[in-house]
Amino acid sequence: DQQVKQNSPSLSVQEGRISILNCDYTNSMFDYFLWYKKYPAEGPTFLISISSIKDKNEDGRFTVFLNKSAKHLSLHIVPSQPGDSAVYFCAATRGGQGGKLIFGQGTELSVKP
Amino acid sequence: NAGVTQTPKFRVLKTGQSMTLLCAQDMNHEYMYWYRQDPGMGLRLIHYSVGEGTTAKGEVPDGYNVSRLKKQNFLLGLESAAPSQTSVYFCASSYLGPLDTQYFGPGTRLTVL
């Protein structure tokens, strides 16, 4: 039972354009969502997060949007740069769960010059 | 600061052999986690710890044991390795728990023949 799903295994975007990565979840009890970025042969690194009390959070070129009614979140990268090429994981958790992050399968983003 | 380190980086085991993966963090974090990453599955939580001397089960705990005897170390043991445990293992730590940024180690690639 995949509670967090990233249905696009890969995405290819031209440098300078917008990248949109999508994530769906099934558990309505999740109240905190995160995006992690992973380069080959390295561990994931935290990118951006959003609480369920918000519908948008922005950090530089990265914006995460949350649509609770649709149980959907998306990560927008504008403008996309070749260094953004990596695997992006979305994750979700409930407050008080003691550390149980549930990850999606990941989307591999390729930004072409 | 070294951050989160994992030992070893690579290992090949035969079915039935045992081994221990070591995770160490120098950030004085309370929470530590062990994940495994498999193709198409994202990261799945194996076990976690909310403080020295404590451990708890994650999503996929079967076949693994853990210990947190010292705050800075979190050990993952495989008593009798199986080919299904072939995976990349990541350790992570955080200061306050799931709503705090998790810092990941570089990973251990384990192959069980």
pLDDT tens digits, A4-33: 999 999 999 999 999 999 999 999 999 999
Show which of residues 38-57 on chain B sit within 8 Å of chain A, judged by CB atoms. 40-45, 48, 50, 56
B56-61: Cβ within 8 A, 24+ apart: B56/A98, B56/A99, B58/A100, B58/B33, B58/B34, B59/A100, B59/A102, B60/B36
Do A100 and B102 make contact, defined as CB atoms within 8 angstroms? no
Token readout for A102 is 């549930």
Between strands A72-77 and A19-25, the pairing is antiparallel
Asked whether the bond before A79 is cis by omega within 30 degrees of 0, the reply is yes
Rounded Cα distance, A76 and A108, in Å:
14
d(CA B97, CA B60): 19
Q: Does A97 touch chain B (CB under 8 A)?
A: yes
**In chain B, which ranges are E strands?**
4-7, 10-13, 19-25, 31-38, 42-49, 56-57, 65-67, 73-78, 87-94, 103-104, 108-112
Q: Is A11 exposed, middle or buried (0-12, 13-18, 19+ CB in 10 A)?
A: middle
Provide the pLDDT for residue B2.
80
Q: How confident is the model at residue B100 (pLDDT cuts 50, 70, 90)?
A: confident
Is there a cis peptide before residue A9, judged by omega within 30 degrees of 0? no
Report the pLDDT averaged over residues B108-113. 97
The Cα–Cα gap between A4 and B2 comes to 31
Q: Which among B97, B101, B107 has the least Cβ separation from residue A99?
A: B97
Say whether B56 and A101 touch across the interface (CB within 8 A). no
Q: Do the chains contact at B98 and A99, CB–CB below 8 Å?
A: yes
Contact A93/B99, CB-based, under 8 Å? Answer: yes
Determine whether the interchain pair B97/A45 forms a contact, defined as Cβ–Cβ distance below 8 Å.
Answer: no
**pLDDT tens column, B43-58:** 999 999 999 999 999 9
DSSP B81: -
- How do residues B3-32 score in pLDDT, each as one tens digit? 999 999 999 999 999 999 999 999 999 999
pLDDT of residue B83: 97
Look at residue A58 and tell me whether its pLDDT is greater than 90.
Answer: yes
Contact with chain B for residue A27, Cβ under 8 A: no
B105: nearest CA partner in chain A? A43
Q: What is the mean pLDDT of chain A?
A: 94
Residue B41 is predicted with a pLDDT of 86
**SS3 state at B64:** coil
Pick among A2, A4, A6, A103 to test the B interface (most B CBs inside 10 A): A103
Helix (H) or strand (E) holding A74: strand A72-77
The answer to whether residue B5 neighbours chain A at the CB level (below 8 Å) is no
